[in-house]
Structure 1
Amino acid sequence: MATPVEGDPFAEAVGEAVQTAVMSVRLITAIADAVRRHQQRQKRGAEEELPPADEAKDEAKKELKDLLPVDISGALMASADWPQLAQQLMALKRAGVDLEQLMPRIGEIAVTVRDGVAGNEARVAREGTGEWEKMLRETLPAGPVREAILSSPTWPDIAATMARLDERGIDVRKILASAHDEGVGVDQAVAKVLAAGEAPTTSRDALLAYGPMTKDLDLPKDLDLSHRERALRQLSIGPRENEHFVRMVREAMPGRDREVDLMVAAKHWPLVAARIAKMDDAGLPVREHLAGLMKDTSWQEARGSQLGSRLIQAATHVLSHPPGEAPPMGRPKVSTSAARSQSSTVGPSKAQAAKQSAPDASAVATDRPGLRPPSRGRGR
């Protein structure tokens, strides 16, 4: 595309198109950087500092040579926020992202935007940035990319950029879909570097949860159910999503607020939320599934603190079967030998006591099948 000449209306339109393309590059880079930060916070508890601006500018200039169209790269480097953009790009490179693969793909998106603006005379009225979170959730599947964007301190800037692109007639949903794919790549690249040299062990919570509650779910090996917020983050469920899922359960169990509160307070609630999220993403009728909780109320037989756990099992049960076709839940089995050994009237024999003092390793191996290697985490 020709370099714009001041005073020439056509050239000015071209210049505006290039600046809009630059905005799309900033948007995708900001999303990629948000994913990098999110990964590092999850794995290390803190994100790495950005490299010095002067150093980053020089390095980024060399990296971008021949990776972006000349007019777009020139406009990027001439912009006031070039130092910040350069820092983000170099932080991505140091985190393990291959810029020689990432930038040409971003360049293709930018060229599409540039050419779209140049040929588009109709302008769409700008909407408030508060609408963009709703659009983001509708456009992007739940997962590390979407959660990274919404939890990023730069989210207001990202939303404002989306609004400006939309104002100029650009299909923001299409750009976000492309940015999501690049964000997934960034997430995997950063995770790979962070995992290098580590020998992760399966947490106790992941081992104990393995079974019906986690069937078909991607379970992180370091699952920590003792910390509710951390567990939800590990399963890529944001606070608002969690609140939405709780409301869905309340609607399915009218007049049973106490029981719902006990279920949500139970340790394994994040696993139910993860299953609801996966089904919701797939467009399955979650509410119709949850309605089964009021059809088979055998969970009411539990008492006290056991009621919440029993409801967790019941919710998993109805969510795992077609609506209205879930068979009655089996009652928890009671071990007569275990009950006899704990009875206040019948004491255990010496043989029983000796057996109880030394756990049977083979029984443990039988009751707890090996945890399948999980993938990156929940995705849509």
Structure 2
Amino acid sequence: MATPTPEEQAGEAFAQAAAEAVQTSVMAVRLVLAIADAVRRQQQKKAGKEDELPDAEKSAAEASEEVKKLLPEDISTALLGGADWPQLAQQLMALKHAGVDLETMLPRIGEIAVTVRDQVAANAERVAREGTEEWAKALRETLPAGPVREAILSSPAWPEMAATMAELNERGVDVRAILASAHEEGVGVDQAVAKVLAAAEVPTTSRDAKLSYGPLTTALDIPKDLDLGDRERALRQLAIAPSENQRFARMVREAMPGYEREAELLVASRQWPLVAYRMADMESKGQPVAEHLARLSKDTSWEEGPRSQMGRRLVQAANDALRKPVGAPVGSGPKVNTAAARSSSPSVGPTKAAAKGAAPATPGVAAHREAGPVAKGGKTR
């Protein structure tokens, strides 16, 4: 057998790289479809009308025509030849039956796939894989709070999605750009399914969201349907991974030596997810969270008052400690009536969300912004 010439070897290497790029683009398509399907399920579940996936064989035949017509040939061929094509076809047909226009959606997914394919082809370096927690953090930093982000994190497929993100990142793909594009598709799915179900496309502002506007949520992006009564859901809504939540709780305990019971009261409080969210937001900005939390053991004015209100005072004290500059004197600043401060604040109610990164602002997302001076937390009712 003749030894391949340098030209033949180069051609073979190029073909292998091109094949890998196409397979990676197919992974991106799977990720976007998984996110879209998670949004569909979430919307239908809320309405109590979650549909079963359609017949796999029938879906494969019907969806293959849509895919061949609307996706680039190399990507559609790889997609149809994959072992998981029947499941993907079921997802596509479920989206179609739920009211999603595939002739609009699939070409946009094709654009994402082409971008990924070209990125992989042009990038030879490998990046270390990051864990699931890192990708929950990426969601928080890339996607605005709202139904799409919550649907992703509450989906049974979330661990698989996170693994896909890690692998795409390892191959040199800009995963955050994909997430931003997938968010747009998710919003479209959410609205299309809501329309079919005759449900409200924009969630009404929940009582928890209304009560949280003020110093506790200044500059934080919180969902309008925030549900602090369901801690697991609240943490998902705020994109706080379970491992992150445990780490933040441990940071509080370490910051309050000798006050173990009080630390547990803070972590167990109803508003703890908002405190954890501020800690996560500070970490993303490179701020020293542990140094801020150290104030809780230096200024123990939160001990003053009825024991029954200790948890509430601790939440206010923790928020105050996190918001004050590290160098500010301990115990400085006048104590104010929070209700009065909120009533005069220009940011009492929800405002339009500002997009994070490349992700667009969407209905159903409320970002709290405060234009005037920040009121210092103190003892309140």
Superposition TM-score, scaled by structure 1 size: 0.71
Superimposed CA distance per residue, residues 124-169 of structure 1 (whole angstroms, 9 cap, x where no aligned partner): 79x9x8x643664576545577776665444565566678x68xxx
> Paired residue for 1:100, among 73, 94, 107?
107
Which residues of structure 1 form unaligned runs of 5+? 1-7, 335-362
Mapping of residues 1-380 of structure 1, within 5 Å: 13=13, 16-40=16-40, 42-43=42-43, 44-45=45-46, 48-65=51-68, 67-92=70-95, 94=98, 96=100, 98-113=105-120, 115-116=121-122, 132-133=131-132, 136=135, 141=140, 152-154=155-157, 157=160, 171-172=170-171, 174-196=173-195, 197-198=199-200, 200-325=203-328, 328=332, 330-331=334-335, 371-373=349-351, 375=353, 376-377=364-365
Matching residue's letter, 1:372? P
Matching residue's letter, 2:247? H
Q: Secondary structure at the match of 1:236?
A: coil
CA shift, 1:261, in A, is: 0.4
Structure 1 CA distance for aligned equivalents of residues 51 and 22 of structure 2: 26
Is the alpha carbon distance of 1:171 and 1:66 closer, same or farther for their aligned partners in structure 2, counting shifts above 3 Å? farther
Matching residue's letter, 1:275? R
RMSD over aligned CA atoms reads: 4.0
Indicate if the aligned counterparts of 1:299 and 1:314 stay in contact, CA closer than 8 A: yes
Indicate if the aligned counterparts of 1:76 and 1:82 stay in contact, CA closer than 8 A: yes
Indicate if the aligned counterparts of 2:227 and 2:233 stay in contact, CA closer than 8 A: yes
Matching residue's letter, 1:109? V
CA shift, 1:37, in A, is: 4.3
Is the alpha carbon distance of 1:136 and 1:228 closer, same or farther for their aligned partners in structure 2, counting shifts above 3 Å? closer
Is the alpha carbon distance of 1:204 and 1:161 closer, same or farther for their aligned partners in structure 2, counting shifts above 3 Å? closer
- The answer to which of 243-252 and 143-152 deviates more is 143-152
Determine the structure 1 residue equivalent to 2:5.
none
Q: Secondary structure at the match of 1:192?
A: helix
Q: Secondary structure at the match of 1:219?
A: strand
Indicate if the aligned counterparts of 1:235 and 1:274 stay in contact, CA closer than 8 A: yes
User: Higher Cα Rg: structure 1 or 2?
Assistant: 1
Q: Secondary structure at the match of 2:53?
A: coil
Determine the structure 2 residue equivalent to 1:360.
none
Is the alpha carbon distance of 1:49 and 1:272 closer, same or farther for their aligned partners in structure 2, counting shifts above 3 Å? same
Task: Quote the sequence identity (%).
Answer: 43
Is the alpha carbon distance of 1:81 and 1:200 closer, same or farther for their aligned partners in structure 2, counting shifts above 3 Å? closer
After superposing on structure 2, the runs of 4+ consecutive aligned residues of structure 1 that deviate more than 6 Å are: 8-11, 144-147
Which residues of structure 2 form unaligned runs of 5+? 1-7, 354-363, 368-381
CA shift, 1:309, in A, is: 0.7
Is the alpha carbon distance of 1:13 and 1:69 closer, same or farther for their aligned partners in structure 2, counting shifts above 3 Å? farther
Structure 1 CA distance for aligned equivalents of residues 180 and 249 of structure 2: 30
Determine the structure 1 residue equivalent to 2:361.
none
Q: Secondary structure at the match of 1:222?
A: coil
Is the alpha carbon distance of 1:52 and 1:307 closer, same or farther for their aligned partners in structure 2, counting shifts above 3 Å? same
Structure 1 CA distance for aligned equivalents of residues 300 and 79 of structure 2: 62
Superposition TM-score, scaled by structure 2 size: 0.70
CA shift, 1:298, in A, is: 0.8
Q: Secondary structure at the match of 2:222?
A: coil
Q: Secondary structure at the match of 1:174?
A: coil
- The answer to which of 313-322 and 225-234 deviates more is 225-234
Superimposed CA distance per residue, residues 184-237 of structure 1 (whole angstroms, 9 cap, x where no aligned partner): 223322333355451643322222222221222233232222222222222222
- The answer to which of 193-202 and 291-300 deviates more is 193-202
Is the alpha carbon distance of 1:172 and 1:155 closer, same or farther for their aligned partners in structure 2, counting shifts above 3 Å? farther
